[in-house]
Amino acid sequence: MNKELAAEHKVSVICKEALAHLPATKTVRLPSDVEFRGETIYFIVVDRFLDGCADNVGKETSLNDPTRKDWHKYWGGDLQGIIDKLDYLQGLGVTAVWVTPLFEQLESPTPYHHAPIHGYWTQDFYRINARWVNDGEEVSMTKPSKTAFDRLIDELHTRGMKLILDIVCNHSTPESVDGKGKLYQDGKLVADFDNDHEHWYHHYGEITNWQDEWQMQNCELCGLATFNENNVLYRRYIKDAIKLWLDRGVDALRVDTVKHMPVWFWQEFCADLITHKPETFIFGEWIFSHPENAISTDFANRSGMSILDFGLCVAIRQCFLGTAPGGFHLIEKVLERDVNYRGANELVTFFENHDMSRLQAAGASNETLRLAVALILVSRGIPCLFYGCEQYLVAEGVDNGEDPYNRPMMSKWDQSTPVYTLTYALSRERVKNPAIQWGGQWQKYITDDVYAFTRRFRESRCFAIFNKGEATTIDTVDTELPDRTHKCLVTWREIVVEGGAIKNLELAKNEVVVISHIGETLNGKSIAHIQLNGINAADDECVAIIGDCPELGQWDLRDAYRLEKINGNTWFGQLVFDQSAGHSITYKYVILGNLAEKAPRRENRTGRRRNIVAEGIAKWRDVWEEL
């Protein structure tokens, strides 16, 4: 990390500590205190990160491989290893750590002699895997204790970072020498697939038709015992278990295999957990979701959780690997469909994970990887990096790096690699610039090899341009930036903007330019983050909110608060409530055009009611009503 970046990193930490001590009458909240749109996620396969405690070998030692040659066995990574490298992760700019499931796993050999190093074969959701905590530490989540898990939570929160827990609700365990689907509640057997008197499981065999929705939701995935979500005993079990983990400090949940359970289950599940802990962010894995796939977008819009953006992932891989024609047009085609989502800016974006080959295993160079990282760090959505990409981690010569060979042991901790320093530079800007967190993404220039866009929210802007081809010069590109000399966040190159545009912009091969301009920061005692979906106003119209309080104009359209267009389905705004803080208000949305020529169009419903928080930040999510 160069001296300038290191100095700014230190200042940002000091500033956050100072803000925590501001008087309550002038509360200022950082975006990371409120929601996930300002986060940078780092996804860790716990077993393959770092062995911080050599003694936690588990009950069944045949599942271990201390030589680290058998890719299907435990290699020794644990939570103490993550704690030991938090300085490294914070220096990278990571603000949220996503870990593979921590629950107690199957501890008996399977016919294939595979160990559940991934964490998706859970036998007790009320206990932590003894391999993840230090030897001899308490594994029950129902008993007060101070394990490596609790220390990790404390260390993360002290640094202003968050923990995302990976969970799976669809299934428990496969066949093993001890049977199949034995489920425990803090050590007590509560269900058994082979002796299922209370119908905790479905018994319809394995999926044979992957296009059949009923089979997808009721049949077995890879021989795993599949839970019967219709059984209220199971639903209480799983929800109460996850609440224990939230109460111990987990900030967010990543949910595995969500397409394999009906949406009504997820609606109940998310509602219960968010009621229990309102600031919980939840996102799910609908594998190969796509904005043109109505089933997956409907799930994202109605389930109560966001999803991983597989559509963008595939487009990024095709673009940078050259496996399909179109280059950057492939990416833009996906982003043009953001209108199909109610929360496109809350989709979790990525280009590699534990279920697919790493980008470099598929053929990408170091420079190409750097472009891909930069792209997701400044594009719409919440970026997620797979552990080790900043060190160019890849297993050479093994099955093209597919699962499980995409999960090598982390071995290097170099804080000066180009991807490491770039990630810090851009992730810190996410925290500061509301345009990157909440703004729309507007394409400014595109060819197969060159792509430029501006992120926009109120007065804030972030302009980015990527060149994956040979050196080139762009005659003129609009940026919407203020006229002056700006400095690129990546190269520190000075670039002049005149008339909102850059002229004769020279781009080297594999160069990325990112310029950030931050407008006035909104501070206040009570702030609402207001999002409206379901309405696409005309180009000469805007959406506003009016109501019975001073901040909303006392129903006077001239003083209505105008929202900002994010895309054709989403309008967003931040509003400070001073006089109305702590009170109940009535409001509704209205479409405004040229008042002299076009009458305003109000929602066709009675006024909405909402209690304004006395202090802090609240997220509003509304859908336009016209019928």
Question: Taking 70 as the threshold, does the pLDDT of residue 9 lie above it?
Answer: no
């058998």: which residue's tokens? 70
Report pLDDT for 540. Answer: 86
Distance CA 532, CA 591 (A): 12
Contacts with 348 (C-beta within 8 Å, 6 or more apart), sequence order: 41, 254, 283, 306, 307, 308, 309, 381, 382, 383, 384
Mean pLDDT of the chain: 93
Considering only 28-42, 177-191, 270-284, 406-420, which range has the smallest mean pLDDT? 28-42
Report pLDDT for 524. Answer: 86
Contacts with 122 (C-beta within 8 Å, 6 or more apart), sequence order: 101, 103, 104, 105, 106, 168, 172, 173
Distance CA 347, CA 312 (A): 10
Report pLDDT for 11. Answer: 31
3-state DSSP call for residue 252?
A: strand
Contacts with 582 (C-beta within 8 Å, 6 or more apart), sequence order: 526, 612, 613, 614
Q: Which residues are catalytic?
A: 256, 285
Name the token pair of 229: 């979500």
- Condensed to tens digits (0 to 9), the pLDDT of residues 311-330 reads 999 999 999 999 999 999 99
114 C-beta neighbours (distance < 10 Å), count: 18
- SS3 readout for 100-116: CCCEEECCCCCCCCCCC
Across the range 287-310, mean pLDDT stands at 97
pLDDT confidence bin for 596, thresholds 50/70/90: low
Domains and CATH numbers, the chain: 3-390 (3.20.20.80), 440-517 (2.60.40.1180), 526-623 (2.60.40.10)
pLDDT confidence bin for 12, thresholds 50/70/90: very low
Distance CA 268, CA 270 (A): 6
Question: Taking 50 as the threshold, does the pLDDT of residue 30 lie above it?
Answer: no
Distance CA 253, CA 403 (A): 23
Query: Do the Cβ atoms of 484 and 420 come closer than 8 Å?
Result: no
pLDDT confidence bin for 585, thresholds 50/70/90: very high
Query: Do the Cβ atoms of 66 and 84 come closer than 8 Å?
Result: no
Distance CA 572, CA 33 (A): 19
Question: Taking 90 as the threshold, does the pLDDT of residue 522 lie above it?
Answer: no
Distance CA 157, CA 176 (A): 39
Query: Do the Cβ atoms of 160 and 32 come closer than 8 Å?
Result: yes
- Condensed to tens digits (0 to 9), the pLDDT of residues 549-577 reads 999 999 999 999 999 999 999 999 999 99
Report pLDDT for 595. Answer: 61
Q: HSE-up of 204 (CA within 13 Å, CB side)?
A: 15
624 C-beta neighbours (distance < 10 Å), count: 19
Report pLDDT for 17. Answer: 38
- Condensed to tens digits (0 to 9), the pLDDT of residues 364-407 reads 999 999 999 999 999 999 999 999 999 999 997 777 788 999 99
Across the range 330-347, mean pLDDT stands at 97
Distance CA 316, CA 488 (A): 23
Helix (H) or strand (E) holding 83: helix 79-84
Question: Taking 70 as the threshold, does the pLDDT of residue 627 lie above it?
Answer: no
Report pLDDT for 599. Answer: 86
Considering only 76-85, 290-299, 611-620, which range has the smallest mean pLDDT? 611-620
Name the token pair of 454: 């501006």
Report pLDDT for 593. Answer: 86
Q: Which long-range contacts (CB under 8 A, 24 or more apart) does 28-34 make?
A: 28/523, 29/527, 29/616, 29/617, 30/160, 30/431, 31/431, 31/434, 31/437, 32/95, 32/160, 32/162, 32/431, 33/617, 34/279, 34/529, 34/617, 34/619
Query: Do the Cβ atoms of 127 and 139 come closer than 8 Å?
Result: yes
Q: Which one, of 541, 431, 562, lies nearest residue 34 by Cα?
A: 431
Question: Taking 50 as the threshold, does the pLDDT of residue 336 lie above it?
Answer: yes
Q: Is 472 left (phi over 0), alpha (psi -120 to 50) or beta?
A: beta
515 C-beta neighbours (distance < 10 Å), count: 21
Distance CA 508, CA 495 (A): 14
Contacts with 404 (C-beta within 8 Å, 6 or more apart), sequence order: 71, 72, 117
Name the token pair of 520: 């006035």
Strand partners, 284: 255, 307
Report pLDDT for 34. Answer: 55
Q: Which one, of 479, 514, 512, 483, lies nearest residue 496 by Cα?
A: 483
Q: Which one, of 335, 353, 356, lies nearest residue 345 by Cα?
A: 335
Question: Taking 50 as the threshold, does the pLDDT of residue 6 lie above it?
Answer: no
